[in-house]
Amino acid sequence: MAEQGFEFNENWQAWCLLCKKSLERPYRTDDVFCKVCMNRYRNEKFFKPIDEHELASSFVTIIPEAKNIPEELVQCGCTDLLLRSRGHLEEPANRLKKLFLAKLHISCGQPALFEMEHLARFSGLGGTWVLDMSPYTWSGTHKDLRSWAILSQAIEHDVQHLALWTAGNAGLSLVKLVKRWNATVPPKKRKTVYCLVDSSTPSDMRMELRGPHCRVTTVSTGSGAILSREQLYNIVASMAGDKIEKERYWQVTDGWDGVGIFMYSLLAQQCLYFLRDKLDKAGRASAKVYVILPIGTGNILFGFVRGMERFGARRAKIIAAVPYGDHMMQPFLLKEKKKEDNGGPRMRPDKPEAPKLTGFYSPLSPCLWHLTEEKGFNNLNTVEFVEVDRSAQLEVAARVSGPDDTKTIDAEPSALIAFGALKELARLIKIHGKEEDLKNSVALVVNSGRGIMGAEEKEFYETSILASR
């Protein structure tokens, strides 16, 4: 058995995240590794140990990109999915009708953009804003934006089977949205989600995913086994039976889906456009903007990277926050070991509670590796990586709500990693500039939201956040 890909409509093109250019052909869901990049980087340290067939079946650099994105699409407010504004509001399904022909009108809720002055005082920065994803309806996380795009394409191309690796939130979001869609259509049009989870995933999280619209299977990856796209297809085929060969199937793990990156890029552009407008009206047009976001598989990171590339000269600098210890970037961010100081007691950093951001594999790993090849804090084109330990996570957990509770943030422990990078950002600005640069610096923290949580996450959430209010 073999996975059969399908082609997006004519308004989409295949785009390589490494080449940063179009492949001049339509995008297909079985597009994987750009051959030009594979040949160019074959002898680099990341690719050299990996067999060429495994590279092509386990990783991806090609994503779907819209041929034309009208400026007004990211400069107006929306009634759903993207940010609102005080002016004229557009319905996203109408604005995106050339890209998503199904015109899916299921409401998903909206993110919010607002300033949190007390976080600016906490970090010493000139301003702190939050892009809050927790108001999304289905999972309470940024994954709902991605799921809407996946379901829209699945409806348009009559895809019945959707499979993904998930740490919880991506699966929960897609399952809930599919459940809502299935309630409105006859049995032959209904879709099934297949969630593949690691054996370390708590049983209560697996039970919450499982249902009539979702099948869940546990796969033990041991100390680091990477299952190829073909192997994943065979696992799903064993669950679905013969009908998977007769009906369309799509592997929509973060990175393989592609449309998630596109939707995040639209939100990134719209968000920065609105923020720049607010800063201009406040007489702060010269302010430097830093976007802090958490990294899991890299989907939302590359969405913001693509959004900033389109934005142009007034783009923001991206700060990617990762949990200290185990995280996706660990193989690419090897640091020199610091000499042991035996002259007295030392503070030892500890791993934070951030299970959604840990792991060793992402289909986007080659693209994540490539981001580390170019460095420079003052270069807006590069991504700065910041590790956040447990003490920084605990400290900021008590401060995500305003002192008068007028502005609150609903963030799971993994989402708090982005907020935990605020003080480190301030330190880096001082190191690479001047003390006075802090007052002209504005941080935009991306809150990925609060979704499905395991027992340890719930304990952290209850004792470290709620108890502090």
Helix, strand or coil, per DSSP, at residue 417 = helix
Distance in angstroms (rounded) separating the CA atoms of residues 352 and 394: 8
Note the pLDDT of residue 71. 80
| Cβ atoms 268, 293 nearer than 8 A | no
Note the pLDDT of residue 191. 96
pLDDT at 454 over 50: yes
pLDDT at 340 over 70: no
pLDDT at 282 over 50: yes
Q: pLDDT tens digit string along 163-204?
A: 999 988 999 999 999 999 999 999 999 999 999 988 878 888
pLDDT at 336 over 50: no
* Confidence grade of residue 320 (pLDDT, cut at 50, 70, 90): very high
Name the helix (H) or strand (E) containing 318. strand 317-323
Percent of the chain with pLDDT over 90: 59
Q: pLDDT tens digit string along 48-70?
A: 888 888 888 889 999 999 988 87
pLDDT mean over 231-247: 84
Q: Which of 2-6, 149-153, 165-169 has the lowest mean pLDDT?
A: 2-6
Note the pLDDT of residue 176. 96
pLDDT at 339 over 80: no
Tokens of 369: 């590796």
pLDDT at 341 over 50: no
Note the pLDDT of residue 337. 39
* Confidence grade of residue 73 (pLDDT, cut at 50, 70, 90): confident
| Cβ atoms 261, 63 nearer than 8 A | yes
DSSP state of 360: S
**Mean pLDDT, all residues of the chain:** 89
pLDDT at 139 over 60: yes
pLDDT at 224 over 70: no
Note the pLDDT of residue 467. 42
Question: Which has more pLDDT, 405 or 290?
Answer: 290
H helices within 81-220, ranges in order?
A: 92-95, 117-123, 143-156, 169-182, 203-209
pTM of this structure? 0.94
Note the pLDDT of residue 326. 82
Distance in angstroms (rounded) separating the CA atoms of residues 219 and 196: 7
pLDDT at 355 over 50: yes
Q: pLDDT tens digit string along 378-425?
A: 999 999 999 999 999 988 988 886 565 557 788 999 999 999 999 999
* Confidence grade of residue 222 (pLDDT, cut at 50, 70, 90): low
Q: Which of 206-215, 242-251, 326-335, 344-353 has the lowest mean pLDDT?
A: 344-353
pLDDT at 312 over 90: no
Note the pLDDT of residue 313. 83
Note the pLDDT of residue 49. 85
Distance in angstroms (rounded) separating the CA atoms of residues 375 and 379: 8
Note the pLDDT of residue 223. 55
* Confidence grade of residue 344 (pLDDT, cut at 50, 70, 90): very low
Note the pLDDT of residue 2. 67
Long-range CB contacts (within 8 A, 24+) of 211-216: 211/175, 211/179, 213/175, 213/178, 213/179, 213/182, 214/171, 214/175, 214/178, 215/239, 215/240, 216/171
- Domain architecture of the chain: domains with CATH: 111-141+258-333+349-468 (3.40.50.1100)
Long-range CB contacts (within 8 A, 24+) of 81-89: 81/108, 81/110, 81/145, 81/148, 81/263, 82/110, 82/111, 82/266, 82/267, 82/270, 83/110, 83/111, 83/112, 83/113, 83/267, 83/270, 83/271, 83/274, 84/110, 85/274
**Residue corresponding to tokens 């949990």:** 323
Q: pLDDT tens digit string along 17-46?
A: 999 999 999 999 999 999 899 888 888 888
* Confidence grade of residue 219 (pLDDT, cut at 50, 70, 90): confident
pLDDT mean over 265-281: 96
| Cβ atoms 174, 197 nearer than 8 A | no
pLDDT at 468 over 50: no
Distance in angstroms (rounded) separating the CA atoms of residues 149 and 143: 10
Distance in angstroms (rounded) separating the CA atoms of residues 11 and 69: 10
CB neighbours (10 Å) of residue 469? Answer: 9
Helix, strand or coil, per DSSP, at residue 163 = strand
